[in-house]
């Protein structure tokens, strides 16, 4: 083919071409056309089948791209979230491991591609043509599964796929070339395209939005992304504003968390979740919230304006307007922007006593309780203390059975420690330990040699061991003056006995005569005996044996004293003798030490009335030398108790004077404790959230100050018995005080755990994610009141195939009210499962709410002990359910395939497809619905009953637990499941 030559045509500045030039052009053109027609060869048909198929493949690639674009748009408008397992197609989709949307999109791509391939074949002239095809999908599970197996979709979550794009592969597309009705070439190819699509970003962000809406206060770690914590962050400041007024005026705000106020705050929280998820909110949201804020503010203002203006602590109008300026607007009447979290927190309450970082817990009341316990008197309670009244008695019903010491025992029982202190100090015992030594042996007479040669028999009855002579001595030593230890030797008695023994032994034999002259039979062996006779021999031995028994008597005093068990030096300088300058009472009379112990020791050990000096003669008299052949016999004669401590009686000379002095000393130590210990500073929230009662912090402080309190200085032993009794008394006071602290602390912990368990029982599965409901909830409240919560906006990432993308969010209704809406109010309202064009009307419940004030008026003192009413708290459980009739999110990506962008729609509707001429159900699209739960812990200082609700302690909206279309309010009336008590209400407020 000849090469075309270009011709340049000049155009003047006014864009006009001269007529002469036009004539020349026409002439040349006509000549050229004739020449061309005359010289063109006859047309021929390109019958290269491979080239023809390549062209068809290229056209099919374009068809797949267009099919994928259309399929993503259709899938976004009806994103199947719940496949129907009872339909053939739905069952096939449900069996896939993928997200139902991916399987549904794959089926749409397949069907769109199948239709478009019908138009990608080419007719090359003559009898040659090409086709591209996929197997048709029949309305059977097997056919649908086969179609799904041919489509692969790679989303941005997979490697190599950019955000805002999808990579689609359609496998085994059949291509065929025919000529004259005969196949001349065929092949199968996989066609892969990458398209710009925000479908999955829209789907994932919407799913994330729904997930965050369904996140309760206990469902997430330390994050504030979920609706539950964001609602709590709004409920806390508003609730504390009301609680602050209830503290001053208990009749204000019968309900702290009414449902109509929760509605406003819940919508504000939902819009904030939209902002954090999509980077934007419904464009009508701000406008709807302005009116809601004004309405809620007017409601709050009406309550506040009913406050007794004559009260000193009531709000004046100026203060009220400053507190609620965001509600009423400025003096020109223009409504300001809706308040931020920080603005909500910047209420008068933040600087009030309710959120002070620390609170002081003085030890005085506990010190008094320990005093009365030690002296054995009934505690003089303040009759005007409200906790000694019925309110305190009711608290005990909250305690679990695990409280170690009941409050009744702590309050009503005074043990009286002073007699026990005297007994533990004025106490002594003695013990004897002996050492026995012997020397020498008893005599042992040996048989003569001749006895061994003959038939001799010992006469045992004649064997004798006797004492020929003896010498007995008893020596004593006094030892207790040589030592000052608590347990020491008192006396030593040495008994010595020396015996001279003699032993005699006799042997006998019979002698028979051989011949007798008297005619009688004779016996003998020597041949000389003339008559029978008995012969005997004797052996004698003498020896000296010495016995020595040493009896040492030990004595000890005040060995039961608690100060000893505490590890202090137990020694008393003047113990077993009189002395010492410590004397009780103003007259400083002598009350004695342990002077009686030495004499009593001898009496107890030797069981005799003799004194330590005369007992020597008594012991000597007990020794009977003629009867002593071994040491046991001597010990038995001495008759003493050994190896066990024997109590001896010791008493003060003037018991009454000593106890009176110790009672006065109890008052002194009480005064010292109040002056030197505390007050204990704790963070107010710890009174509710700490695992261990903060008041138990006094235990460590008392232990650290114990030396100074008990000994008024460093412990270095005691001068005399009264000095040790004083230390024992002071330690007994500290132990009683610690017992009181731990009993109150245990009751505090028990109360808290009981409430915690009660809350956990009420929350059920909603509380399983956390170990400490009160701590978690109050921590969120602190963050909210301190303005420490940051709510960040979300964003949609772009890619090289898309321009900068942004979301457009629209909910229907925009504002979820607790009042029902109709079709004429919200166009998206339709019956459940209805098609978008269905004109049938119905009633739609956008939001339902309920609250329970589990601890109503007057709340519970966090330390359940009279005069320890430093704070009270109450707990509100707020539940919210919501459902959009329609929720759509759009993303304009700027791609040429879809310049208007993609709109993703979630609404309650069924999804169908036509397969092989048959309309088949695929499944359904579920609307955005949510349930969330929030717990509010309210804390106020003690002294006022105003913290809990005074109206209905439990309340739910008319359609509670039933959101969405078709709610019958009359049918649901009174169905307020989960009511913790008999006091419930249903009024929608």
3-state SS of 812-856?
A: ECCCCCCCCEECCCCCCCCCCCCCCCCCCCCEEECEEEEEEECCC
Pick from 144, 164, 196: which residue ends a domain? Answer: 196
pTM (predicted TM-score): 0.68
210-224, 662-676, 843-857 — most confident range: 662-676
Q: Where does the pLDDT of residue 550 fall: very low under 50, low under 70, confident under 90, or very high at 90 and above?
A: very high
Q: Which of 849, 859, 854, 879 is nearest to 953 (CA)?
A: 854
pLDDT at 588: 65
In a domain, 730, yes or no: yes
15-29, 303-317, 575-589, 845-859 — most confident range: 845-859
139 and 93 in a common domain: yes
pLDDT tens readout for residues 69-107: 999 999 999 999 999 999 999 999 999 887 899 999 999
pLDDT at 40: 46
Higher pLDDT, residue 455 or 762: 455
Q: Measuring CA to CA, how many Å separate 487 from each of 438, 555, 557, 649?
A: 29, 6, 7, 16
Q: Measuring CA to CA, how many Å separate 213 from each of 45, 791, 818?
A: 66, 14, 17
Q: Residue 503 contacts by C-beta under 8 Å, 6 or more apart in sequence?
A: 442, 443, 444, 445, 463, 464, 465, 466, 540, 541, 542
669 and 597 in a common domain: no
Rounded average pLDDT over 607-623: 89
Higher pLDDT, residue 125 or 59: 59
In a domain, 770, yes or no: no
Q: How many CB atoms are closer than 10 A to CB 713?
A: 8
698 and 743 in a common domain: yes
592 and 490 in a common domain: yes
Q: Which of 847, 812, 856, 813 is nearest to 958 (CA)?
A: 847
**Beta-sheet strands, E only, within 396-448:** 428-439
Helix (H) / strand (E) containing 186: strand 182-196
Q: Is the predicted pLDDT of residue 51 greater than 90, yes or no?
A: no
Lowest mean pLDDT among 44-58, 103-117, 550-564, 665-679: 44-58
663 and 571 in a common domain: no
pLDDT tens readout for residues 504-544: 999 998 888 765 444 444 444 555 555 788 888 999 999 99
Q: Where does the pLDDT of residue 240 fall: very low under 50, low under 70, confident under 90, or very high at 90 and above?
A: confident
Pick from 762, 791, 823: which residue ends a domain? Answer: 762
Lowest mean pLDDT among 52-66, 344-358, 563-577: 344-358
Q: Which of 553, 558, 644 is nearest to 600 (CA)?
A: 553
Provide the CA 870 distance to its chain's centre, in angstroms: 24
672 and 603 in a common domain: no
9-18, 288-297, 659-668 — most confident range: 659-668
pLDDT at 782: 64
Average pLDDT of the chain is: 79
In a domain, 482, yes or no: yes
Higher pLDDT, residue 950 or 808: 808
594 and 459 in a common domain: yes
pLDDT tens readout for residues 733-742: 999 999 888 8
Rounded average pLDDT over 214-229: 79
pLDDT at 510: 87
Q: What percent of the chain has pLDDT over 90?
A: 38
pLDDT tens readout for residues 358-380: 778 888 888 988 898 898 887 66
3-state secondary structure of 957: coil
In whole angstroms, what is the distance from residue 487 CA to residue 389 CA? 53
pLDDT at 954: 82
Asked whether 821 and 883 are in contact (CB, 8 A), the reply is no
pLDDT tens readout for residues 731-786: 999 999 998 888 888 878 877 777 777 777 766 666 555 556 666 766 766 666 65
In whole angstroms, what is the distance from residue 556 CA to residue 486 CA? 6
Lowest mean pLDDT among 52-56, 917-921, 942-946: 942-946
Q: Residue 1 contacts by C-beta under 8 Å, 6 or more apart in sequence?
A: none
590 and 546 in a common domain: yes
Q: What percent of the chain has pLDDT over 70?
A: 73
614 and 643 in a common domain: yes
pLDDT at 833: 79
pLDDT at 692: 85
Is the backbone peptide bond immediately before 813 cis, with ω within 30 degrees of 0?
A: yes
Q: Is the predicted pLDDT of residue 18 greater than 50, yes or no?
A: no
Q: Where does the pLDDT of residue 350 fall: very low under 50, low under 70, confident under 90, or very high at 90 and above?
A: very low
CA dihedral in degrees (153, 157, 159, 165; nearest 10)? 60
Asked whether 698 and 398 are in contact (CB, 8 A), the reply is no
Lowest mean pLDDT among 64-78, 385-399, 490-504, 892-906: 385-399
580 and 678 in a common domain: no
pLDDT at 204: 93
Q: Quote the number of domains for the chain.
A: 3
727 and 581 in a common domain: no
pLDDT tens readout for residues 950-972: 777 788 888 787 898 988 766 65
Q: Is the predicted pLDDT of residue 842 greater than 90, yes or no?
A: no
Spell out the long-range contacts of 677-682 with Cβ–Cβ below 8 A and sequence spacing 24 or more.
677/363, 677/367, 677/701, 677/702, 677/705, 678/360, 678/361, 678/362, 678/363, 679/360, 679/361, 679/362, 679/363, 680/360, 680/361, 680/362, 680/363, 681/358, 681/359, 681/360, 681/361, 682/358, 682/359, 682/361
Lowest mean pLDDT among 59-73, 320-334, 354-368, 586-600: 320-334
Lowest mean pLDDT among 237-241, 462-466, 613-617: 237-241
pLDDT at 86: 93
In a domain, 953, yes or no: no
In a domain, 756, yes or no: yes
pLDDT at 632: 94
In a domain, 249, yes or no: no
Pick from 715, 737, 762: which residue ends a domain? Answer: 762
In a domain, 247, yes or no: no
430 and 409 in a common domain: no
Q: Is the predicted pLDDT of residue 126 greater than 60, yes or no?
A: yes
Q: Which domain, by its residues, includes 65?
A: 47-196
In a domain, 710, yes or no: yes
């Amino acid at each position: 083919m000849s090469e075309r030559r270009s011709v340049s045509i000049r155009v003047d500045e006014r864009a006009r071409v001269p007529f002469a030039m036009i004539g020349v052009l026409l002439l040349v053109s006509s000549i050229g056309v004739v020449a061309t027609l005359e010289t063109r060869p006859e047309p021929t048909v390109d019958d290269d089948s491979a080239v023809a198929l390549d062209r068809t493949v290229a056209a099919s690639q374009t068809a797949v791209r267009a099919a994928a674009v259309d399929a993503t748009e259709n899938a976004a408008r009806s994103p199947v979230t719940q496949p129907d397992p009872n339909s053939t197609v739905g069952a096939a989709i449900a069996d896939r491991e993928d997200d139902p949307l991916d399987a549904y999109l794959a089926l749409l791509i397949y069907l769109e591609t199948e239709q478009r391939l019908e138009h990608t074949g080419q007719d090359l002239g003559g009898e040659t043509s090409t086709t591209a095809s996929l197997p048709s999908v029949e309305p059977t599970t097997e056919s649908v599964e086969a179609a799904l197996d041919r489509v692969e979709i790679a989303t941005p979550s997979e490697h190599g796929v950019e955000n805002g794009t999808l990579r689609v592969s359609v496998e085994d597309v059949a291509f065929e070339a025919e000529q004259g009705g005969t196949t001349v070439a065929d092949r199968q190819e996989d066609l892969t395209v990458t398209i710009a699509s925000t479908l999955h970003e829209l789907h994932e962000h919407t799913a994330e939005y729904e997930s965050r809406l369904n996140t309760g206060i206990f469902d997430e770690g330390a994050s504030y992304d979920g609706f539950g914590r964001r609602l709590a962050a709004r409920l806390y400041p508003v609730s504390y504003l009301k609680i602050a007024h209830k503290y001053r005026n208990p009749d204000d705000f019968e309900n702290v968390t009414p449902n109509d106020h929760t509605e406003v705050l819940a919508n504000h929280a939902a819009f904030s979740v939209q902002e954090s998820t999509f980077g934007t909110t419904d464009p009508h949201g701000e406008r709807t919230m302005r009116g809601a804020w004004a309405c809620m503010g007017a409601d709050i203002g009406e309550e506040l304006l009913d406050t007794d203006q004559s009260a000193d602590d009531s709000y004046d109008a100026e203060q009220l307007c400053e507190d609620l300026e965001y509600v009423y607007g400025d003096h020109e009447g223009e409504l300001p922007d809706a308040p931020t979290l920080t603005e909500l927190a910047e209420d008068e309450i933040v600087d009030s006593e309710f959120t002070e970082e620390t609170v002081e817990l003085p030890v005085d009341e506990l010190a008094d309780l320990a005093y009365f316990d030690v002296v054995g008197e009934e505690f003089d309670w303040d009759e005007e203390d409200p906790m000694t009244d019925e309110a305190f008695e009711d608290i005990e019903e909250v305690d679990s059975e695990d409280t170690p010491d009941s409050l009744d025992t702590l309050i009503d029982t005074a043990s009286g420690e002073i007699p026990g202190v005297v007994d533990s100090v004025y106490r002594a015992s003695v013990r004897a330990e002996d050492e026995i030594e012997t020397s020498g042996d008893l005599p042992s007479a040996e048989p003569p040699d001749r006895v061994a040669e003959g038939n001799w028999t010992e006469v045992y009855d004649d064997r004798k061991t006797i004492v020929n002579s003896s010498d007995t001595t008893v020596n004593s030593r006094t030892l207790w003056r040589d030592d000052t230890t608590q347990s020491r030797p008192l006396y030593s008695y040495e008994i010595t006995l020396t015996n001279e023994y003699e032993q005699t032994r006799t042997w006998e034999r019979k002698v028979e005569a051989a011949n007798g002259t008297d005619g009688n039979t004779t016996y003998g062996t020597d041949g000389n005996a003339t008559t029978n006779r008995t012969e005997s021999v004797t052996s004698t031995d003498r020896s000296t044996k010495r016995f020595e028994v040493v009896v040492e008597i030990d004595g000890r005093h005040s060995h039961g004293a608690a100060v000893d068990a505490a590890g202090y030096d137990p020694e008393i300088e003047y113990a077993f003798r009189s002395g010492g300058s410590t004397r009780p009472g103003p007259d400083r009379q002598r009350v004695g030490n342990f002077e009686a112990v030495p004499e009593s020791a001898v009496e107890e050990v030797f069981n005799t009335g003799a004194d330590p000096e005369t007992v020597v003669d008594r012991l000597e008299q007990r020794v009977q030398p003629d009867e002593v052949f071994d040491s046991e016999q001597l010990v038995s004669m001495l008759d003493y108790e050994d190896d066990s401590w024997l109590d001896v009686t010791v008493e003060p000379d003037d018991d009454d004077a000593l106890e009176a002095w110790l009672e006065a000393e109890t008052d002194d130590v009480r005064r010292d404790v109040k002056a030197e210990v505390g007050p204990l500073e704790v963070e107010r929230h710890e009174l509710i959230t700490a695992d261990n009662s903060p008041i138990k912090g006094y235990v460590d402080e008392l232990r650290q100050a114990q030396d100074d309190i008990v000994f008024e200085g460093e412990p270095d032993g005691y001068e005399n018995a009264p000095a040790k009794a004083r230390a024992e008394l002071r330690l007994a006071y500290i132990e009683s005080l610690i017992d009181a602290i731990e009993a109150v602390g245990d009751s505090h912990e028990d109360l808290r755990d009981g409430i915690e368990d009660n809350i956990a029982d009420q929350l059920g599965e909603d509380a399983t994610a956390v170990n400490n409901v009160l701590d978690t909830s109050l921590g969120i409240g602190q963050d909210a009141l301190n303005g420490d919560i940051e709510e960040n906006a979300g964003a949609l990432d772009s890619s090289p195939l898309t321009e900068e993308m942004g979301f457009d969010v629209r909910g229907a209704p925009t504002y979820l009210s607790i009042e029902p809406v109709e079709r004429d109010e919200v166009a998206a309202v339709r019956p459940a499962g209805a098609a978008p064009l269905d004109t049938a009307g119905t009633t739609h419940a956008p939001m339902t709410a309920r609250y329970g004030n589990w601890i109503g008026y007057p709340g519970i003192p966090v330390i359940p002990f009279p005069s320890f009413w430093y704070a009270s708290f109450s707990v509100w459980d707020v539940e919210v359910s919501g459902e959009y009739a329609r929720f759509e999110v759009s993303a304009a990506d700027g791609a040429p395939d879809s310049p208007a962008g993609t709109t993703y729609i979630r609404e309650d509707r069924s999804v169908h497809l036509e397969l092989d001429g048959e309309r088949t159900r695929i499944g359904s699209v579920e609307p955005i619905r949510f349930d969330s739960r929030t717990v509010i812990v309210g804390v106020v200082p003690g002294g006022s009953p105003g913290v809990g609700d005074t109206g209905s302690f439990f309340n739910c909206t008319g359609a509670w637990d039933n959101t969405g279309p078709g709610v019958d309010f009359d049918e649901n009336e009174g169905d307020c499941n989960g009511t913790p008590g008999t006091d419930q209400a249903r009024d929608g407020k």
